[in-house]
């Protein structure tokens, strides 16, 4: 059986696609992972064949020489691991945390494949592109993509876990309109401050339930806040079965990470996207604008977003649900050709190349 190492780490936006690719390939390949310390929380404690390479983030500072020495050490570690386990191919999900593995693989003449889920080519992948054989993307119109490498692009539909394809709709047991609000591993603080006040105003006009992500140290405080205002709620920080929360919802308010948007889109959940302003090269804005152009969502700019503006938009949506119906219809059209088997066959073909 061929052996592949998937290098990832950092945020869920990097680790979750790595786990979905592993789900597609596990029957025909022996899968290994590399991750930094930050990415480990997204893996099960039962995950086998994983090496931790805690790559430092480089910047010009007094610690630069020490970081460089650590990088050299991690490259040697990665090289030893790749040789010892006879790894034949490496798949990178991007990010600086993959640098030791990519450089080690290059030194061993191991084929390197890249994955880019965003509509802007990440800086890590921009650098790794010079060493790679192929790059798997959702679009061939990525911003900042060098024209000389366009022949390396392989297109697939957005990756989501197999469980979503096996999802069967269950009729809701309650009449409350359910909001799912999540900021991912970045940006939940902004959502905490703005959205809870908006939900109070809405609850005075409509029966609602709120499922909201927050920081671990803020869960009890936010839970008490909603309880004191007689709003049915579920508050969480990290939810292993996040798909179940999407299923329970009627409407989502989200950041614009590629995987999050792919999941709520596939389950035909209308949504408001509020891109993270600090996302690298503004890639979250590009991700959100893709769905907006397809008539599937609303996109709001955090820089000029106020409580009144968000409240007015949501009240308008709830008072006249025709826009929700239109958005759902457009989401269905967008996703009707997205099948697990088609993506699986494409990935098997790409990674089986010599």
Query: What pLDDT was estimated at residue 150?
Result: 95
Helix runs in the chain, H state only: 12-25, 64-84, 99-107, 123-128, 162-165, 188-203, 219-228, 242-248, 258-266, 283-293, 307-319, 322-335, 340-351
With the CA atoms of 61, 66, 67 and 71 taken in that order, what torsion angle do they form, in degrees rounded to the nearest 10? 160
For 197, 201, 325, 326, the CA distances from 322, given in Å and listed in that order, are: 25, 22, 5, 6
Q: pLDDT (tens digit, 9 = 90+) per residue, 12-71? A: 889 999 999 999 999 899 999 999 999 998 898 888 899 999 998 877 666 788 889 999
Q: Which of 85-99, 233-247, 336-350 has the lowest mean pLDDT?
A: 233-247
Query: What pLDDT was estimated at residue 91?
Result: 98
Beta bridge partners of 31: 4
Query: What pLDDT was estimated at residue 174?
Result: 66
pLDDT at 89 over 70: yes
- Please provide residue 29's backbone torsions phi and psi, each rounded to the nearest 5 degrees: -135, 150
> What average pLDDT does the chain have?
91
The C-alpha atoms of residue 214 and residue 272 are separated, in whole angstroms, by 18
Question: What confidence category does residue 168 fall into, taking pLDDT thresholds of 50, 70 and 90?
Answer: low
Query: What pLDDT was estimated at residue 167?
Result: 72
Q: pLDDT (tens digit, 9 = 90+) per residue, 296-335? A: 999 999 999 999 999 999 999 999 999 999 999 999 999 8
State the distance between the two ends of the chain, measured CA to CA, in whole angstroms.
14
- Please provide residue 267's backbone torsions phi and psi, each rounded to the nearest 5 degrees: -90, 10
Query: What pLDDT was estimated at residue 244?
Result: 87
Instruction: Express as a percent the part of the chain with pLDDT over 90.
Output: 74
| CATH 3.40.50.2000 residue ranges for the chain | 2-157+339-351, 167-335
Mean pLDDT confidence for 81-108? 96
Query: What pLDDT was estimated at residue 194?
Result: 87
Query: What pLDDT was estimated at residue 336?
Result: 84
Q: Which CATH architecture has domain 2-157+339-351?
A: 3-Layer(aba) Sandwich (3.40)
The C-alpha atoms of residue 91 and residue 113 are separated, in whole angstroms, by 5
pLDDT at 173 over 70: no
CATH of 167-335 given 3.40.50.2000, 2.40.50.140, 3.40.1390.10, 3.30.70.60: 3.40.50.2000
Q: Are the beta carbons of 203 and 231 closer than 8 angstroms?
A: yes
Query: What pLDDT was estimated at residue 193?
Result: 80
Instruction: Express as a percent the part of the chain with pLDDT over 70.
Output: 95
Q: pLDDT (tens digit, 9 = 90+) per residue, 247-280? A: 899 999 999 999 999 999 999 999 999 998 888 8
Query: What pLDDT was estimated at residue 128?
Result: 93
pLDDT at 188 over 80: no
Q: Which two tokens stand for residue 183?
A: 């900021």
Query: What pLDDT was estimated at residue 289?
Result: 95
């Amino acid at each position: 059986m061929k052996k592949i190492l998937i290098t990832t780490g950092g945020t869920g936006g990097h680790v979750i696609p790595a786990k979905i690719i592993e789900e597609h390939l596990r029957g025909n390949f022996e899968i290994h992972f590399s991750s930094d310390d930050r990415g480990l929380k997204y893996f099960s404690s039962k995950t086998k064949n994983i090496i931790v390479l805690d790559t430092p983030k480089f910047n010009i500072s007094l610690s630069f020489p020490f970081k460089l020495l650590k990088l050299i050490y991690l490259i040697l570690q990665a090289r030893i691991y790749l040789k010892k386990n006879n790894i034949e191919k490496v798949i990178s999900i991007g990010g600086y945390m993959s640098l030791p593995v990519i450089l080690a693989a290059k030194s061993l003449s191991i084929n390197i494949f890249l994955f880019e889920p965003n509509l802007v080519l990440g800086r890590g992948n921009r650098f790794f592109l010079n060493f790679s054989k192929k790059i798997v993307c959702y679009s061939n119109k990525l911003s900042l993509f060098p024209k000389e490498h366009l022949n390396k692009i392989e297109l697939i539909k957005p990756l989501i876990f197999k469980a979503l394809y096996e999802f069967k709709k269950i009729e809701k047991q309650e009449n409350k309109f359910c909001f799912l609000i999540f900021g991912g591993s970045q940006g939940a603080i902004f959502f905490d401050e703005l959205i809870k006040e908006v939900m109070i105003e809405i609850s005075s006009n409509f029966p609602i339930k709120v499922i909201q992500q927050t920081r671990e140290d803020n869960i009890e405080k936010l839970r008490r806040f909603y309880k004191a205002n007689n709003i049915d709620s579920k508050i969480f920080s990290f939810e292993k079965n996040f798909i179940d929360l999407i299923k329970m919802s009627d409407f989502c308010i989200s950041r614009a990470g590629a995987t999050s948007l792919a999941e709520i889109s596939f389950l035909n959940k209308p949504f408001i996207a509020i891109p993270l302003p600090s996302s690298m090269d503004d890639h979250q804005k590009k991700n959100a604008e893709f769905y907006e152009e397809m008539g599937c969502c609303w996109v709001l700019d955090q820089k000029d977003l106020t409580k009144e503006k968000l409240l007015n938009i949501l009240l308008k949506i709830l008072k006249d649900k025709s826009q929700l119906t239109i958005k759902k219809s457009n989401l269905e059209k967008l996703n009707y050709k997205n099948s697990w088997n088609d993506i699986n066959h494409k990935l098997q073909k790409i990674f089986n190349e010599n």
